[in-house]
Structure 1
Amino acid sequence: MSLEADLARWRDHLNRFAALLGNPPDRAAPPTPEARPGHCLVLAPHPDDECIVGALPLRLQQEAGWRVTNVAVTLGSNPERREPRWAELVDACGVLGFGCIRLGAEGLSDVRDDTAERNPALWAAHVQTLAELLTEQQPCLLLAPHALDDNPSHRGTYRLVAEALARARLDTVLAHTEFWATQSAPNTLVQTSIADTARLIAALERHTGEIERNPYHLRLPAFLADSVRRGGELVLGAGEAPPDFAFATLYRLVAYRAGQPAAELPRRVYPADQALTSALLTP
């Protein structure tokens, strides 16, 4: 099946889902490419995370002309699946229009929250590898799991990113993402239109080996809908009216200066009819 057919199929499903939730039709903002668009790095613990948390970079790319690069921190724990997973990842990133690179020949190994204690030499090498990439790329925005995202590789990736940022002494913004566990203090809710949500799911379908094991792409719309429920109160404030859209992703944006967290960004909601620009990275 072609990408166009995949997108049309998912748009139809999502429109029905949105109608059941009582949401109005999408209103999309026209793109306004920036004169000097930024660069976003998605630090993905596993192939497929770029699709699950990709709302913010996808919109920046489409609406402001940003360059987005997915960084495969690992290619999973099964050596026999690493090359197939890399091929699936390249295919998925092609659907999203993201660039794709990997750390090391087969991704990094043993990126877990306790690796530094169990194998300090390996951990130091991992931190140096990522710090060198950050220094080379100089991203305006990074995406990485929050510290308590309840998967060992997700927590390990958070720790790796925090230490590599300190090593590189980078000025940037880190967007904490969530999947295996919610974060307690998100400050940014980013809507995805029906079309963008369909694209994220169509990209996720390209990870064929993973969705054969667990068809979690079918549950992604519910996850994004629940982010609207939570975000309506956590970002807008307790007791406030929820946003009138169906699908969104929650993040916690923190400004870093010289590699250290410096300031939480203000709480904001970004509906699809408000074009995303670099302004979202300002305090």
Structure 2
Amino acid sequence: MSPEADLARWREHLTRFADLLGPPPDRQAPPGREPQPQRCLVFAPHPDDECIVGALPLRLKQEAGWRVANVAVTLGSNPERRAARWAELRDACGVLGFECLRPGADGLTDVRPDTAEREPALWRSHVQAIAALLAEHRPALVLAPHARDDNPSHIGVHHLVVEALAAARSNTVLALTEFWSTQEAPNALVQTGIADTARLIAALERHAGEIERNPYHLRLPAFLADAVRRGGELVLGAGEAPPDFAFATLYRLVACHGGRLAGDLPRRVFPADQALTSALLLP
């Protein structure tokens, strides 16, 4: 059977399973929901990144009642697609149970590593917009790409969020994510079970205009499986027994005090049979 036929069959099975999933549950797994749920902001360089790196916020929402919002930092480089990408993003976040935010009507433009040098006034306005969101929502957890995630917008969003954290003097945990390039020192491996993995894939499928040109949602399980392979030794230590689960996402968790990055959190694996809470995640 050809790769195209394999992908078509996998897509058919995924679509059927997604229909059965329904809305995301609010789990009551011990130790249970928190009396004062925390906030999480996912700073996504493009619509669809919230699904690819969304394991940690998805579990926090379901298992501890956290409020999660995806911030659409940009809506892509094609102005003609931005309205459609915003609609697709809202649909995808509906599958995950995330809120949707955007700085400005169409997100930000020209968020790249060299923007601060080329367009300093524009960059300052970008930093102010993101700092305002941080000050308004006061998230306990912030997700953003790592500094070498090899895509100009991903690297730009990394620097933008780090500068905005400093401008807002935020006290939070920064979860550095990876997609285009792996990061050197991840310290958290977050498992997703079959249902949560399927939900992430089903949400990613809602970005119809993007997967039409590349069905990368069907390859997400391989990405999550490879994180288990790498994370088994990068997080647990070289030569340690690998985790006995199939799918997970790698992050680097860094404490942020008064807007300054103050150091990595201890290395840890978060299995799906142990409910995520603030006590486990936050310093």
Same fold (TM over 0.5): yes
Question: For 1:102 and 1:208, how far apart are their aligned partners in 2?
Answer: 20
1:59-109 per-position Cα deviation (integer Å, ceiling 9, x unaligned): 000000000000000000000000000000000000000000111110000
Partner of 1:192: 192
Q: 1:225, CA displacement in angstroms?
A: 0.1
Secondary structure at 2:212 match in 1? helix
Equivalent residues of 2:173, 2:254 under 8 A apart: yes
Question: For 1:87 and 1:233, how far apart are their aligned partners in 2?
Answer: 39
Question: For 2:91 and 2:280, how far apart are their aligned partners in 1?
Answer: 29
Partner of 1:126: 126
Equivalent residues of 1:92, 1:204 under 8 A apart: yes
Partner of 1:175: 175
TM-score between both structures, scaled by the size of structure 1? 0.91
Question: For 1:168 and 1:157, how far apart are their aligned partners in 2?
Answer: 16
Partner of 1:23: none
Equivalent residues of 2:43, 2:73 under 8 A apart: yes
Partner of 2:278: 278
Question: For 1:154 and 1:50, how far apart are their aligned partners in 2?
Answer: 13
- Map residues 213-224 of structure 1 onto 2, 5 A cutoff: 213-224=213-224
- Map residues 242-257 of structure 1 onto 2, 5 A cutoff: 242-257=242-257
Question: For 1:165 and 1:79, how far apart are their aligned partners in 2?
Answer: 28
- Map residues 146-161 of structure 1 onto 2, 5 A cutoff: 146-161=146-161
Equivalent residues of 1:187, 1:265 under 8 A apart: yes
Q: Quick one: which amino acid aligns to residue 135 of structure 1?
A: A
Q: 1:29, CA displacement in angstroms?
A: 8.1
Q: Quick one: which amino acid aligns to residue 110 of structure 1?
A: D
- Over the matched positions of the two proteins, sequence identity in percent amounts to 75
CA RMSD of aligned residues (A): 1.7
Partner of 2:265: 265
Structure 2 spans left out of the alignment, 5+ residues: 1-11, 22-26
Partner of 2:35: 35
TM-score between both structures, scaled by the size of structure 2? 0.91
1:227-259 per-position Cα deviation (integer Å, ceiling 9, x unaligned): 000000000000011000000000000000010
Are positions 1:7 and 2:6 aligned together? no
Q: 1:214, CA displacement in angstroms?
A: 1.1
Partner of 2:140: 140
Partner of 1:226: 226
Partner of 1:15: none
